[in-house]
Amino acid sequence: MPAQQKKLIFCTAGVLSLACALGTAAAVGTQLWVRGTILCATGALLVNASGPELHKFIGEIQYGLFSGQRVRQCGLGGRPFQFSFFPDLLKIIPASIHVSVILFCTVLIVFALVGAGFFMFNAFGSPYETLHGPVGLYLWSFIACSCGCLIMILFSSEVKIHHLSEKIANFKEGAFTFKTHSEQFANSFWTILVCSLVHFLNALLIRLAGFEFPFSKSKDSGTITGAVDLMY
């Protein structure tokens, strides 16, 4: 492949990696990971609410990795409440999973930046061997893509398996019990998915530029080398 096309491919991959790093950093600081509605089951049961009356007992909730807000509805109008995971909710959430999600987000940002730097270096400089050359580009893309997948798996398990929304909704609620009425992942969660796909795409771009996969060796070259050794 001509050098100009390789430079264009590496520049594209570098820009994509940089955009993923910035997008992940922005996603970590938002409250747009999960959005949903919560039902005040106690209040609805007391008045036997159904149909249109049930909407008076359905509040809203949204949260991210560090903070969020909920609006509780128990028939007397909405009452907003701001909360923080650290240290308010640390005792009721699966803290190890939550901290792991934040840690992998940090690793994703770091390796996306590292990958962007090496892509640009390979585009405008003389590529080194080992970790600065094709092997390094595959490595940074693989680590970043793996971190993105782990973030989605861990956070999904925290929300769906450990019922994170219900735990948040019932935080400091003594007389009322809240149930999750609906919940869906919001923009920041899907940003992580897009970033994972982008890093996988970067690995394909490296292959498109003409680099072989790092652990593949030609059988013919090994046979020829062995024959030459026998001659001497």
Please list the residues that pair with 84 across neighbouring strands.
67
Could you tell me which residue, 117 or 186, shows the higher pLDDT? 186
Could you tell me which residue, 65 or 135, shows the higher pLDDT? 65
Integer angstrom CA distances of residue 183 from 34, 70, 160, 186, 220: 7, 13, 9, 9, 56
Enumerate the domain spans of the chain. Answer: 3-210
Residue 211 to residue 206: CA distance in whole angstroms? 6
Identify the pLDDT of residue 232: 29
Identify the pLDDT of residue 133: 61
Nearest CA-CA partner of 6 in 112, 119, 113, 118:
119
Residue 15 to residue 11: CA distance in whole angstroms? 6
Identify the pLDDT of residue 12: 86
Identify the pLDDT of residue 29: 92
Q: What SS3 class is residue 43?
A: helix
Identify the pLDDT of residue 225: 46
- How confident is the model over 99-120, as pLDDT tens digits? 999 999 999 999 999 988 888 8
- How confident is the model over 8-67, as pLDDT tens digits? 888 888 899 999 999 999 999 999 999 999 988 888 888 777 777 788 888 999 999 999
- Both tokens of 99, joined, read 């901290």
- Both tokens of 128, joined, read 């080194």
Integer angstrom CA distances of residue 77 from 91, 169, 183: 29, 16, 21
DSSP assignment of 140-189, as one string? HHHHHHHHHHHHHHHHHIIIIITTHHHHHHTTT-SS--EEEEEEEE-HHH
Q: What value does the mean pLDDT of the chain take? A: 83
Could you tell me which residue, 213 or 62, shows the higher pLDDT? 62
Residue 136 confidence class, pLDDT cut points 50, 70, 90: confident
Sheet bearing 67-73, strands edge to edge: 78-84, 67-73, 58-63, 34-40, 178-185
User: To the nearest 10°, the Cα dihedral for 167, 165, 33, 152?
Assistant: 80
Task: Supply the pTM of this predicted model.
Answer: 0.83
Task: Supply φ then ψ for residue 61, to 5 degrees.
Answer: -150, 140
- How confident is the model over 17-32, as pLDDT tens digits? 999 999 999 999 999 9
**Which fold is adopted by the domain 3-210?**
Butyryl-CoA Dehydrogenase, subunit A; domain 3 (1.20.140)
Q: What percent of the chain has pLDDT over 70?
A: 84
Could you tell me which residue, 18 or 76, shows the higher pLDDT? 18
Identify the pLDDT of residue 207: 76
Residue 221 confidence class, pLDDT cut points 50, 70, 90: very low
